[in-house]
C-alpha cells in the first residue's frame, strides 16, 4: 500500500485500495508494532500527538480525567452508609480463599 514513489507522486491516481491491499497494510503495521520496544511505541504515540511526553493522554483526545469526571463526581456524592459492595469483587475474593 505504499503510495510514495521516487518522483513523489501517488500511485493510486484516484482509485481506492482493495480489501487485499488494506489487509496487507494492516498486517505490515501490526508486525512492525510487534517488533517495537515499549520506548519506541511510546515515542511514536508522542510524535503522533496522542500522548504527552509525561505519559498522559493529550488534551485533544480527552484524557482519562475528562471521561471519568462525571463518574468520580457521583462516587464522591454517595454517602458511605448508602454504598453497596460490588458483587463481582466479592465473588473474586470468595474464589481466592
Tell me: the pLDDT tens digits for 17-30? 899 999 999 999 99
Q: Which residue do the cell numbers 484524557 mark?
A: 63
User: How far does Cα 93 stand from its chain's mean position?
Assistant: 30
Buried b (16+ CB within 10 A) or exposed e, 18-47: eeeeeeeeeeeeeeeeeeeeeeeeeeeeee
Q: What is the pLDDT of residues 74-97, one digit of tens each?
A: 888 988 888 888 899 989 999 987
Q: Which residue has the higher pLDDT, 83 or 66?
A: 83
pTM above 0.95, yes or no: no
Element (H, E) at 71: helix 63-77
Amino acid at each position: 500500500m505504499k503510495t510514495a514513489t521516487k518522483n513523489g507522486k501517488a500511485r493510486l491516481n484516484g482509485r481506492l485500495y482493495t480489501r487485499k491491499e488494506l489487509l496487507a497494510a494492516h498486517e505490515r503495521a501490526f508486525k512492525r508494532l510487534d517488533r517495537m520496544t515499549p520506548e519506541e511505541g511510546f515515542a511514536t504515540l508522542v510524535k503522533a500527538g496522542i500522548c504527552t511526553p509525561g505519559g498522559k493522554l493529550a488534551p485533544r483526545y480527552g484524557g482519562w480525567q475528562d471521561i471519568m469526571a462525571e463518574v468520580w463526581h457521583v462516587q464522591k456524592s454517595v454517602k458511605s452508609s448508602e454504598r453497596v459492595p460490588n458483587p463481582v469483587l466479592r465473588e473474586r475474593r470468595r474464589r481466592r480463599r
